A and B are shown apart, each in its own frame.
Chain A
Amino acid sequence: MSYVIRKLLLAIPIVILATFVVFLMLYLTPGDPVSALSPPHATAEQLDKIREEWGLLDPPWVQYGRFLWRLGHGDLGTSVGFGTVDESVSWLIAQKLPNTLMLMGLGLAISYTMGIPLGILAALKQNKAADRLIMVFTLVTYAMPSFWLGLLFLLLFSNYLGWLHAEGTSGGIGNIILPAMTLGIGNAALTTRMMRSSMLEVIRMDHITQLRSRGIPEREVIFKHALKNAVLPVITVIGLDIGWFVGGAVVVETVFTWQGIGYLMTEAINRTDFPVVQGCILVMALFVIIGNLAADIFYAYVDPRVRLG
């Protein structure tokens, strides 16, 4: 139990760092921070009004304190660039979040349903043609930038074959497949490599040799005994994959104009809508932190050596 508590305590400074980075963003902008919050060609009176509204005249630590206080109440500020009505950032994000979660979930599923069987196959056929082929495939897909893969998918499935309307969120299930595949395939390369090395390690262990020497069929040895041990380290890193998926989601959503928080953020960057960018980054960072924490705790749960060691 103390292991979990230690991990939880360690997450606190990381959350604080995340809030601090997000807070600092406004002050890293070139020039006066007020210019990042105001419409272009604002008059001096308007600027003064914004300064007062945002409390930019207070000392920095007071501003940071207020920022944290508002965060604690779920208030991420107000959008400065979207339309005529000032919309609350939390509301904007809450609207888009389900789409991102759906995309990441499906991407994760694709990544594991591809990566685990491929990894097992590569390990069982080590140094044979199938293994070589799979390893080359993982090398190439890992090096392939997700935005480029996405564009290729768009070109192939949407323009040439006309099977799927890839852009946008409306239009049902067909639209999510391409972005989710793009997101999943890049991570599948990592999963495959990890599954392969984990499987290779397990099938060389004494208890597996012992099972084989007892004449138990190979199929049973692999799928009933080896797989259980080999798949564990692969499954436990799902939490760590979240970091990869969050970064990937920003890019993939932009390629497919998928209405998630990643797309919301790139739109906000282009409109210099600073509060929205800050809110999106913070939410994504929290995602990753929670994912990492979940991975640590899950790992300790399934492998007692971690929490006792």
Chain B
Amino acid sequence: MNQARLSPRKRLNDTLTQWKMIGGFRQSVADFIERGSRNMMVVIGSTIIVTLIAFALLAPVLPIIDPTLQNPYEEGKGPSENHWFGTDTLGRDVFSRVIWGSRISLLVGTVAVLFSLLIGTSLGLTAGYFGGKIDYLISGTIDLFWTFPAFLLALALAAALGPSLSNVMLAISVSYWAGFARLVRGQALTVRERLFVEASRALGARNSRIMFTHVLPNCLAPLIVWASIGVADAITIESSLSFLGVGTQPPAASWGYMLYRGKTYIGEAPWIAAFPGIAILVAILGFNLLGDGLRDVLDPRLKGLRR
């Protein structure tokens, strides 16, 4: 059949079939892409995210004005042909600053979530797999951090450590890992009772092997969902901290910090605060959509994961 006359989805399917997907990793990936491409939320979410990542990566080579360049003749000018989003009070181009700001938000989001993932997964896996006293101790700690509101803890840490990019990432990681740990622990508790784990143990597999080849892969689906939502939360926390003045500091052009500075001029020059706000909204929306969509695709049972 003529490839060009098929719908894009059909074409994708055909390509995937030609890969000779017989079991294993490739099959899972192909299956995942196929199901994901049918979910509107996943498609819209990932489109937004890919666009953001492209802007973030390409910022240095895009034909845009230097985000730190101050132009005293163009202070606080509204959107125009030369400055699509207008200029701020120092005459810097808001459009270019919003593009460069995506680097900070994405960096904070991914690094903080990776660290939380690392802490949460290792603690949750240990607790759920070994059980007993270790579990008692770790799950107590998890509960403590889970009950303590992440934003307040991050705020306390950021206020104490002083405003800087790395401190923000540290503060978010320390306050956010408990969600991952709870997920992995719960999953590990059920998986370790399954027959294939018992079989593996009977064959003489070491604990570490069972944990990493059997238990962890079974936690992947909820982890991916939670990580996507986590990036959205991390971006929210980062921008809130920056808005309060304890987050990232200049010359870095963080969206939250731009809003913090633009707040004073909201009456005279609303574009200074409006555009970074839209950027935050779109980024959070993208990761939330992806997370919600992936949850439906990967595991509909997870619906109760988040209200």
Contact = CB atoms under 8 A, between A and B. Distances in A.
Interface of A: 10, 13-14, 17-18, 21-22, 24-26, 28-30, 139-140, 142-148, 151-152, 154-155, 159, 190, 193-194, 197, 237, 243-244, 246-247, 250-251, 254-255, 266, 269-270, 277, 281, 284-285, 288-289, 292
Given A18-B148, A148-B281, A155 B307 contact: no
Interface stretch (B20-28, B109-117, B152-160, B205-213): B152-160
B266 A247 contact: no
A140 B156 contact: no
A145 B256 CA distance: 10
B133 interface: no
A151 B160 contact: no
Given A14-B144, A190-B307, A254-B243, A247 B149 contact: yes
Contacts of B155: 247, 250, 281
A173 to B, nearest CB: 23
A246 B164 CA distance: 24
B156 A281 contact: yes
Contacts of A139: 285, 288-289
A145 B148 contact: no
Contacts of B240: 145-147, 247, 251
Interface string B263-306: 10011001001100100110011001100000000000001000
Contacts, number: 122
Contact of B144 (A13, A26, A193, A269): A13
Interface in B35-82: none
B244 A155 contact: no
Given A29-B160, A159-B267, A148 B245 contact: no
B263 A143 contact: no
Interface in B85-143: 140, 143
Contacts of B144: 13-14, 17
Given A144-B281, A190-B307, A151 B156 contact: no
Contacts of B254: none
B266 A142 contact: no
Contact of B159 (A152, A154, A244, A277): A277
Interface of A is mostly: helix
Given A139-B285, A151-B259, A17 B156 contact: no
Contacts of A24: 160
B152 A246 contact: yes
Contact of A10 (B143, B256, B274, B281): B143
B269 to A, nearest CB: 11
17 contacts: A14-B148, A24-B160, A25-B156, A30-B161, A144-B281, A147-B243, A151-B266, A152-B277, A155-B267, A155-B270, A237-B307, A243-B149, A251-B243, A281-B152, A288-B148, A288-B152, A292-B147
B161 A269 contact: no
A131 B16 CA distance: 35
Contact of A21 (B156, B243, B281, B307): B156
Contact of B263 (A255, A289, A292): A255
A147 B151 CA distance: 14
B21 to A, nearest CB: 33
Contacts of B285: 139-140, 143
A197 B307 CA distance: 9
Given A26-B160, A151-B263, 5 more contacts: A10-B143, A13-B140, A143-B288, A152-B277, A277-B156
A148 to B, nearest CB: 4
Contacts of B156: 21-22, 25, 277, 281
Nearest to A243: B149
Nearest to B171: A28
Contacts of B284: 143-145
Contacts of B280: 145, 148
A238 to B, nearest CB: 13
Contacts of A190: 307
Nearest to A11: B147
B162 A30 contact: yes
B288 A142 contact: yes
A145 to B, nearest CB: 5
Contact of A285 (B149, B267, B307): B149
Contacts of B236: 145
